[in-house]
Amino acid sequence: MSRLVIGLVLAVGFCGLVLAGSKVSGPDREQPPYGASDAEVVAARAAGCVGPQTEVNICAWSYYRESQVKLNALTGQIDAALQGNASELAAFGRSQQRWIQVRNDKCEVEGAAFHGGSAVWAVIYNCRDRLNKARLVTLAAKIRHLSPHAGK
């Protein structure tokens, strides 16, 4: 899957964070962990992602979701730019699926170091956010290459 299906979009306070709603559980969830409200997500971010572990996990999740939404949008732009080239579009889709699997596997390994402790989710979400941001840089270069006049 080259991008996640985005459901109900909620604007969250001053953060400008975009969340997507779904019933996915585990690290791929699109709703805040622990059933946190939008206000709790905003408060956790405003506190600098410090405090009780549940708040740290919620905060880490919010940054992961934010980078995931950006990644999905950029992937969509690349998909649109490749519409005239079916083989390259298919290859990009496969490479993105593989990248997501590698990202998830790598972050699961990082999380496993905490042996199921309460920090596991924060570690996994922070890892995914970090790798998403690196992928955004890579894909931004690809979209510039595909659209050399973009932004001019």
Query: How many structural domains does the chain have?
Result: 1
Instruction: Specify if 29 maps to a domain.
Output: yes
Instruction: Specify if 152 maps to a domain.
Output: no
Question: Which residue range(s) make up the domain with 36?
Answer: 9-146
Residue 55 structure tokens: 């708040």
Return the sign of the alpha-carbon dihedral for residues 4, 5, 11, 16: positive
DSSP, residue by residue, 97-138: HHHHHHHHHHHHHHHHTTTT-TTHHHHHHHHHHHHHHHHHHH
Instruction: Specify if 64 maps to a domain.
Output: yes
Nearest CA to 19 out of 68, 60, 57 is that of: 68
| 6 conformational bin, left if phi > 0, alpha if psi -120 to 50, beta if neither | beta
Instruction: Specify if 124 maps to a domain.
Output: yes
Residue 107 structure tokens: 């972050």
**What integer pLDDT is reported at residue 152 of this predicted model?**
41
Instruction: Specify if 129 maps to a domain.
Output: yes
Instruction: Specify if 1 maps to a domain.
Output: no
Instruction: Specify if 92 maps to a domain.
Output: yes
Instruction: Specify if 3 maps to a domain.
Output: no
pLDDT tens for the chain, 152 residues: list them. 333 222 222 222 222 222 233 233 456 666 778 878 888 888 888 888 888 898 999 999 999 999 999 999 999 999 999 998 999 999 999 999 999 999 999 999 999 998 889 999 999 999 999 999 999 999 999 998 887 644 44
**pTM score:** 0.74
**What integer pLDDT is reported at residue 116 of this predicted model?**
86
How many C-beta atoms lie closer than 10 Å to residue 76's C-beta? 13
Residue 103 structure tokens: 């990202």
